[in-house]
């Protein structure tokens, strides 16, 4: 299958509209809590098409069911990839080589790996070697200075700096940095965390996708204003669904940022 490729874009950063799935439903969680779910709809393709019609050229789809070891929604992810044919990154409970192969062979551009990858560096390294560093993203889910795993419920042995070193040592080129305490809250990005991560990433030759807390256009601008070459994109989720951020305006903001470089 001919898979759309992120590197075909000549500019970055990108806006990643987020679609979180649980049991095939489109939902959002607050701070990753499984019992703090807000439901937005029953048709993931409808939402994906809405963001594409608004001008988005990529999507960020997370399978929360997979992350919580519930029935997964990967069929919905693959359906979106096959019908919309644009770059999609997906993650959530992807813990084995067979699942990585399944999604990457059926139109998804890149996978986001978390718990298994952080616990088993040989697995992570093997996935990077087999599929290429441009198709594997490592999740760096942060709370209280630590990288969290197992659906954000357990502490790993890593802090931000050692997590970035771990990524480099295993061939990763792109990190998804999520501020768990801000995720789904609309309270703004954790700028000190983002700034530190971008600084460390610049020194290591990594790229960062920032997630967690975007609640208005000014929050996206605050991330852009860090002016880091390591910034690959910003994930926007709940703010789109609750119309606190207009996707067309967010895309225009990034376009103007690019043209001013």
**Which positions are catalytic?**
20, 141
Residue 244's alpha-carbon distances to 65, 110, 247, in angstroms, are 26, 28, 10
Tokens of 22: 């649980």
Q: Kind and range of the H or E element at 19? A: strand 14-22
Picking from 52, 70, 75, 74, the residue whose alpha carbon sits closest to that of residue 62 is 74
- Percentages helix, strand, coil for the chain (3-state, rounded to 5) are 40, 25, 35
Q: Label residue 143 exposed, middle or buried (CB < 10 Å: 0-12, 13-18, 19+).
A: middle
DSSP 5: -
Sole residue written with tokens 């890149």:
110
For residues 88 and 113, the answer to whether their CB atoms sit within 8 Å is no
Buried b (16+ CB within 10 A) or exposed e, 234-261: bbbbbbbbeeebebeebbebbeebeeee
Write out 246-257 in H/E/C secondary structure. CHHHHHHHHHHH
SS3 state at 207: strand
Residues 261 and 257: their CA atoms lie apart, in Å, by: 7
């Amino acid at each position: 299958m001919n898979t759309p490729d992120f590197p075909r874009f000549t500019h970055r950063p990108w806006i990643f509209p987020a679609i979180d799935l649980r049991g095939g439903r489109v939902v959002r969680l607050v701070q990753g809590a499984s019992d703090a779910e807000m439901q937005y709809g029953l048709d993931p393709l409808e939402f994906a098409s809405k963001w594409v019609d608004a001008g988005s050229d990529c999507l960020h789809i997370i399978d929360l069911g997979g992350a919580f070891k519930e029935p997964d929604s990967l069929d919905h992810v693959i359906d979106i990839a096959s019908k919309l044919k644009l770059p999609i990154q997906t993650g959530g409970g992807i813990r084995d080589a067979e699942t990585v192969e399944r999604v990457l062979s059926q139109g998804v551009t890149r996978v986001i790996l978390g718990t298994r990858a952080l616990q088993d560096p040989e697995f992570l390294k093997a996935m990077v070697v087999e599929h290429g560093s441009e198709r594997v993203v490592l999740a760096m889910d942060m709370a209280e200075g630590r990288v969290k795993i197992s659906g954000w419920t357990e502490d790993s042995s890593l802090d931000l700096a050692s997590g970035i070193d771990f990524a480099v040592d295993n061939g990763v080129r792109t990190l998804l940095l999520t501020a768990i305490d801000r995720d789904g809250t609309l309270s703004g990005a954790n700028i000190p965390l983002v700034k530190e991560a971008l600084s460390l990433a610049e020194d290591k030759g990594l790229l960062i996708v920032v997630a967690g807390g975007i609640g208005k256009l000014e929050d996206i601008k605050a991330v852009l204003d860090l002016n880091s070459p390591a910034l690959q994109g910003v994930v926007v989720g709940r703010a789109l669904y609750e119309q606190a951020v207009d996707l067309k305006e967010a895309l225009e903001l990034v376009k103007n940022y690019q043209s001013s470089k």
